[in-house]
Structure 1
Amino acid sequence: MVAEQEGTFEANGHSLYTKSWLPDGPPKAKLIFIHGFSDHLGRYSNFFPQLASRGIAVHGLDQRGWGRSVRKPGDRGHTGPTTQVLADMAAFITPHLPADPAAGPPVFVMGHSMGGGQVLTLACHPDYQESVVRRVRGWLLESPFISFSPEEQPSALKVFAGRLAGMLLPRHQLKHEIKPEHLTRDPEVRKSLVEDELMHNTGTLEGLAGLLDRTAALAKGEVRPLEGGALRSLWVGHGTEDKTTWFEASKRYFDKFTGAVADREFKAYEGWYHQLHADGPDSEEFYRDVGDWILKRCNEDQPQAKPGERPESKL
Structure 2
Amino acid sequence: MTSVPEQTSSSTPSTPFVEAWLAGPANTQFYTRTYPAPSPRAVLLFVHGFAEHVGRYEWAHSTYASRGITVFTYDQRGFGRTALDREKKSGHSSYGRTSAKEQLGDIEWWVRHLKKEYEGLPVFLMGHSMGGGLALAFGTRTSPPPEKDTLDTLSGVIASSPLLLQTFPASKIARRAGGLLSGVFPGLAIPAPVPVEDLSHDPVANKANAADPWIIQKGSLKGLHDMLSGGEQLLWNDYKHWPRSLPLLIVHGDADRVTSFKAAQEFFDKLDAEDKEFKPFKGGYHELVHEPDGVKEKFVDECIVWVLKHVEGQAPQGATEMTASKL
- Structures share a fold, TM > 0.5? yes
2:93, 2:121 → 1: CA distance?
A: 39
Amino acid at match of 1:245: T
Amino acid at match of 1:204: S
Are 2:272 and 1:254 aligned? no
1:232, 1:213 → 2: CA distance?
A: 24
1:131: how far off?
2.8
1:104, 1:91 → 2: CA distance?
A: 18
List aligned pairs for 1:216-295, cutoff 5 A.
Answer: 216-220=232-236, 222-226=237-241, 229=243, 231-256=245-270, 258-259=271-272, 261-281=273-293, 282-295=295-308
2:93, 2:40 → 1: CA distance?
A: 38
Amino acid at match of 2:55: G
1:3: how far off?
2.9
Are 2:218 and 1:202 aligned? yes
Say which SS state the counterpart of residue 128 (structure 1) adopts: coil
Say which SS state the counterpart of residue 131 (structure 1) adopts: helix
Match of 1:2 among 4, 12, 15: 15
1:125: how far off?
2.1
1:235, 1:98 → 2: CA distance?
A: 25
Are 2:103 and 1:85 aligned? yes
Say which SS state the counterpart of residue 139 (structure 1) adopts: strand
* Structure 1: 5+ residue stretches without partners: 303-315
Tell me: CA distance 1:19–1:230, structure 2 relative to 1, closer, same or farther (3 Å).
Answer: farther
Superimposed CA distance per residue, residues 217-241 of structure 1 (whole angstroms, 9 cap, x where no aligned partner): 0121x111537x3652000000000
* Alignment check: 8 A CA contact 1:122 1:128 kept: yes
Q: Among the aligned pairs, what percent are the same residue? A: 29
In structure 1, the residue matched to 2:5 is: none
Amino acid at match of 1:194: A
1:129: how far off?
5.4
1:95: how far off?
1.4
Say which SS state the counterpart of residue 124 (structure 1) adopts: coil
1:74, 1:137 → 2: CA distance?
A: 32
In structure 1, the residue matched to 2:46 is: 33
CA RMSD of aligned residues (A): 2.0
Larger Rg: 1
State the number of aligned residues. 292
2:100, 2:284 → 1: CA distance?
A: 30
Match of 1:57 among 49, 59, 70: 70
List aligned pairs for 1:179-218, cutoff 5 A.
Answer: 179-218=195-234
Tell me: CA distance 1:231–1:173, structure 2 relative to 1, closer, same or farther (3 Å).
Answer: farther
> After TM superposition, which residue ranges in structure 1, 4 or more long, deviate above 4 angstroms?
none
Amino acid at match of 2:96: G
In structure 2, the residue matched to 1:134 is: 152
Amino acid at match of 2:109: A
Superimposed CA distance per residue, residues 174-227 of structure 1 (whole angstroms, 9 cap, x where no aligned partner): 01010011111101101101110111111111111111220120121x111537
Say which SS state the counterpart of residue 248 (structure 1) adopts: helix
* Alignment check: 8 A CA contact 1:18 1:59 kept: yes
Higher relative CO (Cα under 8 Å, sequence separation at least 6) belongs to: 1
TM-score, normalised by the number of residues in structure 1: 0.88
